[in-house]
Every structure is written in C-alpha cells, then in structure tokens.
C-alpha cells in the first residue's frame, strides 16, 4: 500500500477509525501457508504436475510388479506408438475444451478425412499430396462448421458437435459404402499416406514418425497457447467469455479458430492413423475416439469448465491411459479392468481439479 | 463553463424491443473533471455508458470526442480512441496473470522475427510496464506480477482493473460502480486511485449508487432519470438528499440545473 497522503485521509465520518486500522489489507501475498496449501498453490500454478506424478507412479507400480519386461525401452516406446492417434486427437480436443466447449465429432472427422485421403489416392487416382490436401480440407471444413455454429449461431457446443457427430458419421458410411481400402491397394499407389508408420530405432527403443508428429504437434501448440496472443485469448475466452469480450477480444473469431484448428488436427490424426493401421476402414467411425480424446484431456488436468490446464497434461493423460492399458495387458488382466481404471482416473482427475481451484477462494 | 467538453453526446436513443432505455439522452464531460452519473435502477445509466464505451450502438444520436463525431461498433474501437472502461465485473480473466490481464487484447510482441513470424509475446516488456504502472498508482506490494488474478482480493482486482484503464486511457476513463463490491477500506483505496488518476489530468466518468462516495470525489453530478439527463448539479451546492430526491422524482430540480 502507498504512503498515506493528505488526499488519502478518510473524509467520511465512519471512516475516521481507519487511521488506526491494520494496513495489511492490500499486500498481495498471503503469508504463512501450511505445507498442504503450498502444494495446492504449486499445483495451481503448474497444471501438468498432477498427471505427471500419476504417470510416474503408474510406470513405477507396473514396473515393480511386472519387472524388467515392462521397463524395457521397447515396451515404453510401444506405448507411445499406441497412443499417437489418441494423443493427437486429444491435443485437438484440448483446444476446444480450453474454450469451455467440447468436440464430440472429432473422432468421426478423423475417420472421414482418412477415407477421403484413401479414396482420392486409390479410387480416383489423384496424386498423394492432393489426396492428403483434400483430407485436410474436409477435416478443416467440418471443424469450421462446428465453429460457425458455436460462435455465430451461438448454439451450445455439446449440441452442435453431437449433431455433427451423427451427420459426419452417416456421411462417412454413405460416401464410402462402408468399403475398406486395403493396405496393399494404398501401398501400390503411394508411400506417402503411410509415412507416419515409418519407424526408426534408437537402441531397442522404436519410434514411428507418428509418435514424433504427436510430440512436435503438442510442443507447437504449447508454444502457441503460452507465448502468443492467440493462445492467451483462447484461455481468456474459456475462462470468462464476457470479460474477454469487454477486454476487446473478438471471442467469435477465437472460437471459430479453435474448432477449425481442431478439425485440421483431426485430419492430421487421420494421416497418422493410415500409417499406423495400413488399411483405411470407414467402420472405425464407431470407435469412441472422441471419448478417448476427452479422457486424455481430462486425465491430463484440462478443466471441462474451460480456461485451465496445460496441453502438456493432455499428452501425459494419453500416456497414463497407455501405460495402464499396457501394464494390465502384460499382467494378463481382463481388458475390462483397463476401462474400469480409466473411469476411476477420470473421476479422480476432476476431483483433484476442483480441489486445486479452491486456491482461488 | 468556458472550456470545451472533451466528450459529448446529444439525443442518444436506444430501444430494446418495446423498452426505451435511452430517450434522447445528453451527456457532457469536461477535461480533468470527475463527473458522477447517478440514477435509479433502470434509469438508463448503464445503457448510456455502454453507448459511450462502445459496448452498444445507439439507435439515434451523436457522440463526439474532442469535437469529432465517433461511431464505436465495439469496445475495442472505443479503446483505441482513448476511452477506457472499468466494468462492474472488471472484465478480468481470473486464470490469467496480472500482466497478461493488463495487456489482454493489446499484447506486445517480441521485436524481430520471433515476433513477426512466430508471434512470440514479449513477456519481459509487458511485465515491466505492468509493474511500472501498478507502482505508479501505489499498488506496488505485488510480489509476483505473474500471479493469477483469481488469487487476489476484491480490492486488489479492482486495483488491477483501474491500473489497466489508467495505463491505456489517453482521453477518458469510465468506471462503473467501482466500489460496489468492496469493503470500507478497499473502497477508500479505490477512491484514492480515482483521485490519483484525475491528478494525472484524465477526466473520469464515475457511475455509482454510493452517495457519500459520489459527493466526496465528484466535481459535477449528472442525474439520469427516465432514460435522459434530468440535470447536472454541483455537489457543493446540494445535499445528498437533494440528489436522491431529484433522482427519484420526489423533488423538482432547480431551474438553472435543468439540462438544456
């Protein structure tokens, strides 16, 4: 608080007593904190810390129970390969969730983009770069449609993307007649669609270009979210849209860009999925990719109320699911236990999120 | 008054469906003054202020800033013209830091290729300027400018919002109910801030229901009633009960104070 000056003297009768009052009111730091409060503050300022601790704990637990077979760099990098698609979709989902929205259509956008890429290259015989471009175009257009309905028509994101989920899924089946494009047919035309399946070894660790893509994408988005005005605006819009608007942010544009970018990233996930699966199957549209992406984001500490969380958390969230599922596999457990544990993790993650938020109170 | 008003409005009309919020309202703000705007709930104070700050566009009427006719279509345009508003809800993003909030919507980018190609924010510069502004206004007990706004008290948040307005407002600062949510001590601090901002030569429009605060700091009081300016009074010549009586229609204002 500044030095009291002449103008600052209380001039209302009832304020006279203020002269003798404590002057601590405007100091910006709270003083003695209990260790628990310190942890709470640390977690509040470092949103990816909780999922990181959980990930390390999960690796340790499975490592100790299973032993060296789990700890091998081969197994650990295999997990990365398995989560590449969900990790990329989770990154797209994170952008939307940070705006306090949700994108239920993200999984089917990916499948439709993959089918477009495959059909363009194999059935229509277009050059691979054009086929891939068309896939991105369709993914981006689907995302733009979501963004348009949310930001301009002002419909709730849940309703919009529930609708487009069905619409895009049906479009996918009608357009493709549910015909799978075989791996050999794709390989016969081009190698480019399978580029993200290409693997390389560092010692016994096996990485695919898809895994590299996932990490590069997440790091790129982390940079954009934390070090550009666009990223700060995305957080501000999700945090308090009214305040963001009054601060001069064009909230509609920010929302539109988030959904459109999510659609484009879904198309990237489509390209990566072609590399991983080899073939392109329209029936993948029934897989709950959208829910897996939301799960990764939520376990990673992204708040569904918007404006909070780090995209690095989403990557870690996807890894946690990957580690748990691989660990249980190797223990020979019923696969349903993985589903069971995922549910427990989601609820725990949200409960911790609520607790951390109380720091504001 | 011999001086030319810096901000004027004539004949503002704003209708919401069948409700007329502004019915040919006038407004004048002179350089370097604190003009309080008071009025009953629903008198149209907020609509008038929103029209001036660009949050709504009036259906009719004319607003002039330094003699030039202006037509704001968004708060952003009003801001770039030098009119800053401290909204009642403060318009701060709770999860973002103090520095991020102060520069929200007008971030500074790094010079060179990092700024132009990679759009990298110049955090160091923004923090430096935010810190300078806060200490200029005597709010410099902040230990960490990167603290999230949600960890601050109500008065501290108000301080950040006022500092943001004072830092960027080159012509006019509008404050909507700045003390409404605050306790006695924090209100006192905000009133000091308001006087501080005026002493820098910036005129202030203060919207408030708190009569003691209004009478303490205002140079003139604009009384709004039924969608228009009823009168402008000098707080030194009238009592608070006069003002309340004019505002509620219990008493006719003196002829010389009536708006032309």
CA distance A176 to A169: 11
pLDDT tens per residue across span A321-360: 999 999 998 999 898 998 999 899 899 988 888 887 776 5
Q: Which residue of B has its CA nearest to A10?
A: B188
Confidence at residue A6, expressed as pLDDT on a 0 to 100 scale: 40
Residue A9 in contact with partner chain B when CB distance is under 8 A:
no
Q: Are B51 and B176 in contact (CB under 8 A)?
A: no
CA distance B81 to B256: 33
Confidence at residue B2, expressed as pLDDT on a 0 to 100 scale: 54
Per-residue pLDDT for A3 more than 50? no
- Which B residues, 188 through 207, put their C-beta within 8 Å of a C-beta on chain A? 188-189, 192, 195
Helix (H) or strand (E) holding B131: helix B123-136
Phi then psi dihedrals of residue B117, to 5 deg? -95, -45
Q: Is residue A276 part of a domain?
A: yes
pLDDT tens per residue across span A105-162: 999 999 999 999 999 999 999 999 999 999 999 999 999 999 999 999 999 999 999 9
Q: What is the DSSP letter of A360?
A: G
Mean pLDDT, chain A, rounded, equals 88
Per-residue pLDDT for B92 more than 70? yes
What's the total number of domains in chain A? 1
CA distance B72 to B95: 29
Residue A198 belongs to domain spanning:
65-347
Q: Are B166 and B201 in contact (CB under 8 A)?
A: no
List the CATH number of the domain containing A191. 1.10.3470
- Of B239, B238, B234, residue with least CA distance to B221: B234
Q: Is residue A315 part of a domain?
A: yes
Pairing relation of β-strands B172-176 and B83-86? parallel
- Which B residues, 68 through 97, put their C-beta within 8 Å of a C-beta on chain A? 74-76, 79, 85, 87, 89-96
Q: Is residue A17 part of a domain?
A: no
**Sequence ranges of the domains in chain B:** 7-95+148-257, 96-147
Q: Which residue of B has its CA nearest to A2?
A: B138
Provide, as residue numbers in chain A, all residues whose Cβ is less than 8 Å from the Cβ of B148: 44-45, 360
Q: Are B196 and B137 in contact (CB under 8 A)?
A: yes
Of B89, B142, B144, the CB nearest to A243: B89
Of A18, A245, A308, the CB nearest to B95: A308
| Beta-carbon contacts below 8 Å between A and B | 128
Pairing relation of β-strands B34-39 and B19-29? unpaired
- Of B230, B236, B221, B234, residue with least CA distance to B253: B230
Residue A21 in contact with partner chain B when CB distance is under 8 A:
yes
> Cα torsion at A144, A145, A150, A151 (round to 10°)?
50
CATH of domain B7-95+148-257: 3.40.50.300
Q: Which residue of B has its CA nearest to A225?
A: B120
CA distance B51 to B21: 11
Of B120, B151, B152, the CB nearest to A227: B120
Q: Is residue A290 part of a domain?
A: yes
Could you tell me the pTM of the whole model?
Answer: 0.85
Provide, as residue numbers in chain A, all residues whose Cβ is less than 8 Å from the Cβ of B140: 2
Q: Among B106-120, B129-143, B160-174, which stretch is predicted with the lowest mean pLDDT?
A: B129-143
CB contact under 8 A, B184 and A14: yes
Phi then psi dihedrals of residue A224, to 5 deg? -65, -35
| C-alpha distance from B156 to closest chain A C-alpha (Å) | 7
CA distance B242 to B253: 8
CA distance A71 to B74: 57
Q: Is residue A29 part of a domain?
A: no
Bridge partner residues of B37 (DSSP): B207, B222
Q: Is residue A58 part of a domain?
A: no
């Amino acid at each position: 608080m500044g030095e009291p000056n002449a103008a600052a003297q209380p001039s209302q009768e009832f304020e006279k007593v203020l002269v003798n009052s404590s002057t601590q009111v405007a100091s910006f730091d709270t003083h003695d904190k209990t260790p628990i409060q310190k942890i709470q503050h640390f977690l509040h300022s470092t949103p990816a810390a909780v999922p990181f601790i959980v990930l390390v704990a999960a690796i340790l637990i499975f490592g100790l129970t299973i032993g060296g077979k789990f700890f091998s760099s081969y197994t650990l990098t295999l997990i990365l390969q398995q989560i590449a698609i969900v990790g990329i979709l989770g990154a797209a989902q994170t952008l939307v969730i940070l705006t306090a929205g949700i994108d239920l259509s993200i999984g089917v956008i990916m499948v439709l983009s993959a089918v477009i890429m495959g059909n363009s290259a194999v059935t229509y015989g277009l050059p691979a770069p054009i086929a891939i471009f068309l896939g991105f175009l369709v993914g981006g257009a689907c995302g733009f449609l979501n963004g348009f309905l949310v930001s301009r028509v002002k419909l709730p994101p849940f309703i919009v993307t529930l609708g487009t989920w069905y619409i895009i899924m049906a479009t996918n089946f009608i357009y493709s007649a549910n015909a799978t494009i075989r791996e050999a047919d794709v390989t016969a035309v081009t190698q480019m669609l399978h580029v993200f399946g290409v693997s390389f070894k560092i010692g016994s660790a096996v990485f695919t270009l898809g895994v590299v893509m996932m990490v590069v994408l997440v790091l790129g988005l982390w940079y954009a979210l934390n070090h550009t005005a666009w990223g700060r605006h995305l957080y501000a819009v999700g945090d308090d849209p009214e305040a963001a608007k009054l601060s001069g942010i064009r909230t509609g544009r920010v929302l539109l860009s988030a959904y459109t970018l999510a659609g484009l990233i879904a198309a990237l996930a489509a390209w990566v999925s072609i590399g991983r699966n080899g073939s392109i199957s329209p029936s993948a549209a029934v897989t709950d990719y959208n829910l897996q992406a939301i799960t990764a984001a939520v376990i990673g500490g992204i708040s569904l109320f918007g404006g909070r969380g780090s995209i690095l958390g989403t990557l870690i969230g996807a890894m946690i699911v990957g580690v748990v599922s691989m660990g249980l596999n190797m223990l020979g457990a019923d696969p349903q236990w993985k589903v069971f544990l995922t549910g427990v993790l989601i609820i725990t993650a949200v409960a911790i999120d609520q607790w951390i938020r109380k720091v504001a109170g | 008054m011999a001086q030319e008003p810096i901000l004027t409005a004539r004949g503002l009309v704003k209708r919401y469906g069948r409700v007329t919020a502004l019915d040919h309202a006038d407004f004048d703000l002179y350089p370097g003054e604190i003009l309080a705007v008071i009025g009953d709930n629903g008198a149209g104070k907020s609509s008038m202020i929103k029209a001036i700050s660009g949050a709504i566009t009036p259906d009719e009427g004319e607003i002039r800033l330094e003699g030039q006719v202006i037509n704001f279509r968004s708060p952003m345009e009003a801001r770039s013209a030098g009119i800053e508003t401290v909204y009642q809800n403060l318009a701060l993003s709770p999860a973002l830091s103090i520095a991020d909030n102060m520069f929200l919507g007008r971030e500074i980018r790094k010079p060179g290729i990092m700024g132009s190609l990679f759009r990298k924010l110049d955090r160091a510069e923004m923090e430096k300027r935010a810190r300078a502004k806060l200490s200029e206004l005597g709010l410099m007990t902040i230990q960490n400018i990167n603290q999230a706004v949600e960890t601050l008290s109500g008065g501290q948040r108000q301080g950040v919002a006022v500092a943001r307005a004072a830092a960027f407002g080159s012509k006019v600062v509008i404050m909507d109910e700045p003390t409404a949510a605050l306790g006695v001590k924090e209100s006192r601090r905000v009133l000091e801030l308001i006087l501080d901002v005026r002493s820098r030569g910036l005129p202030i429009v203060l919207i408030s229901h708190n009569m003691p605060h209004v009478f303490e700091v205002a140079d003139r009081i604009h009384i709004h009633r039924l969608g228009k300016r009823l009168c402008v009074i000098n707080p030194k010549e009238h009592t608070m009960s006069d003002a309340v009586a004019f505002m509620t229609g219990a008493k006719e204002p003196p002829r010389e104070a009536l708006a032309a």
